[in-house]
Amino acid sequence: MSDSYKYIDPEYIYTDPRTGILRNLENITDENILVFAESGAVAKRVQELYEKPIKVVGISSLLNIHQHLFQDIYAWAGKPRTVNISKNGKPFFKGERFDMAFQYIDRLIAEYKAIHRNNKAEIAKKLAEILDNVNFLHPFREGNGRAQREFIRLLALEKGMTLNFTPTDNIVIYDRYMQGTINSDVELLTELIYELISNQSK
């Protein structure tokens, strides 16, 4: 909901024209209350993904993850956006070309699945590439960052590894993550993921 985002939505598909607030299932009309309600609902759904992970089969799994996280707040949870988005003057991928982008990311995921689970360097490199492309895609009107972090975490989990981009009280890691995604710095993201991923304790 940052002011640095710009949404091309002249028909107010996602927002209430009177308040400018995202249309939501709770009919909340105050932005601060919506942020609070959304945060609490999503935190609960994230915990459910830790307890019962969604298996990633392709880009469709990102849609499923978003739907799971935001199902209590938005009717369009899990559905690709129908408006175009830019941030700080830099446009994200155009919605009318999503099909082509989805096919490309599915190919990246297939390449990732072929990597041996003990090859930490290649796992980190491919996860960074997938993250960079998913971030540029920005397929949802809201909640892209949270959905993509869970998506990458679950991909790492399938290799028997843990990955947490937002460890408690470690703002440095989150800042590096943001710098890598905003600047499309795959090398930085690779280094960060390599540092963060670790084998699950047996």
What are the start-end ranges of the H helices in the chain?
A: 31-51, 59-70, 98-113, 120-137, 144-157, 171-182, 186-196
**Stretch 36-57: mean pLDDT:** 97
CA distance linking residue 158 with residue 179, whole number of Å: 26
CA distance linking residue 168 with residue 165, whole number of Å: 10
Name the one residue in this structure whose structure tokens are 């982008």. Answer: 101
For residue 131, what are the CA distances in angstroms to 18, 62, 97, 112, 126?
A: 36, 11, 18, 12, 8
Q: How confident is the model over 137-190, as pLDDT tens digits?
A: 999 999 999 999 999 999 999 999 999 887 666 889 989 999 999 999 999 999
Provide the domain limits for residue 125: 5-199
Q: Is residue 28 helix, strand or coil?
A: coil
Question: Has residue 202 got a pLDDT over 50?
Answer: no
Question: Has residue 3 got a pLDDT over 60?
Answer: no
Contact residues for 27 (Cβ-Cβ < 8 A; gap 6+): none
Backbone φ, ψ for residue 6 (5° rounding): -130, 130
Which CATH number is 113's domain given?
Answer: 1.10.3290.10
Number of domains in the chain: 1
pLDDT band, residue 88 (cuts 50/70/90)? confident
CA distance linking residue 45 with residue 72, whole number of Å: 9
Name the one residue in this structure whose structure tokens are 């990597």. Answer: 115
